[in-house]
Each structure stands twice: as C-alpha cells, then as structure tokens.
Amino acid sequence: MDRLHAMEVFVRVAEAGSFTAAADHLGLARSAVTRQIAALEAHLGVKLIARSTRSLKLTSAGLAYLERSREILDLVGVAESDLAGGDRRPRGPIRVSVPMSFGVRHLVPLVADFATTYPEVSLDMDFDDRQVNLIESGLDLAIRITTQLDPTQVARRLSVARMVTLASPDYLERHGCPQQPEDLLAH
C-alpha cells in the first residue's frame, strides 16, 4: 500500500464527505477509494470513518489522523516545490467567501494592492454571511467570524473580534437606555 496515496485519498474523502465525490475528484473508481480506506484502516488498526447507508463521519481517531495527514501532505508539497525550484509565484483563480461587513471594511481596500503584487492571481470574492462547505461551494478559502469550527476543515484564527451592542438614538428614545447587561433582556 502506498501510504502517502492512501493519506491523500483519506483526506479527500473527509473533505468531500463521501466516497463517490472523492472518487470523482481523484479520477478513481469508488471501489478503489473504498479499498484504499479499508487498507489504511487495516494498516493503522483503527476505524477512521464511521459509515452509515447515507453518510459518513470521522471517528475521533479519524479527526486526529486527518489533521496529521494534512500537515504531512502540505510538507510533501513544500518539499517537492523546493526541489522543483523555478517559478513559484502564485497564479490562477482564488475563490474566497467572506462576510459582507468584514469584506467591505477590511478586504476590499486591500484588493488593489493584492492585484498589483500578484497580477497572475484572479480573486473571486463571494460576500456571504452563511457558513459554507468549501468543497461543495467550490471555494478555496472562507473567512468567518465564529466560534463554531468545522473539524473537517483547516481553520486559523486571523484576529479576535470585539463584540459591541449598538442602538440608534431613536430606538433609545423610544425604549430607554439599558444601564447594565441584564437590561438587554427587556429589549
């Protein structure tokens, strides 16, 4: 068994959420993907994926293995690109989903500089506040303001958001100004 290939197959299954979608993406037969996962689980001696007739879910061992597999595959990619040398400038399309308020305030002002620095990269920005599945949505990256992280996706904290409560003068005139946090329950 080619363990590196098996890792790639496992990561794709975890990200896609199905054997069929992973097989399609990898250009393999579904049965080949199933065999790779079975061989990997046998080699490791643990179940990585809990399967039902309609869905699959990573086990706790699967979640841990997914994180390590991604790290290893990233390192292999870096090593290969270092050896290949040559032109490593970013190029191609990047699809990014970002909350409207955050995107307008923080990203839009940076787009012109980014385009000048990386002229071979085309940004496709989707301003959307809903949680998205990167694979299903065909996105490369999503920026979210949340504490609810999807364990099947790689997440990095970019910043800490400070929450504030605001009200218009008209609202305060009609309903009064809360003096302490408990007062907000009446609003």
**Ranges of each domain in the chain:** 3-84, 92-142
Distance CA 60, CA 49 (A): 9
The CATH fold of domain 3-84: Arc Repressor Mutant, subunit A (1.10.10)
pLDDT given for residue 151 in this prediction: 76
Q: In this prediction, what percent of the chain has a pLDDT beyond 90?
A: 50
Average pLDDT over residues 112-133: 89
Token pair in block for residue 30: 């579904």
pLDDT given for residue 47 in this prediction: 97
The CATH fold of domain 92-142: D-Maltodextrin-Binding Protein; domain 2 (3.40.190)
Using the CB atoms, write b or e for 27-43: b if 16+ within 10 Å.
Answer: ebeeeebbebbeebbee
Q: Which of the listed ranges 11-20, 78-87, 124-133, 176-185 does the model predict with the highest average pLDDT?
A: 11-20
From the list 118, 111, 106, the residue with the least C-alpha distance to 143 is 106
Which band of pLDDT confidence, cut at 50, 70 and 90, is reported for residue 87?
low
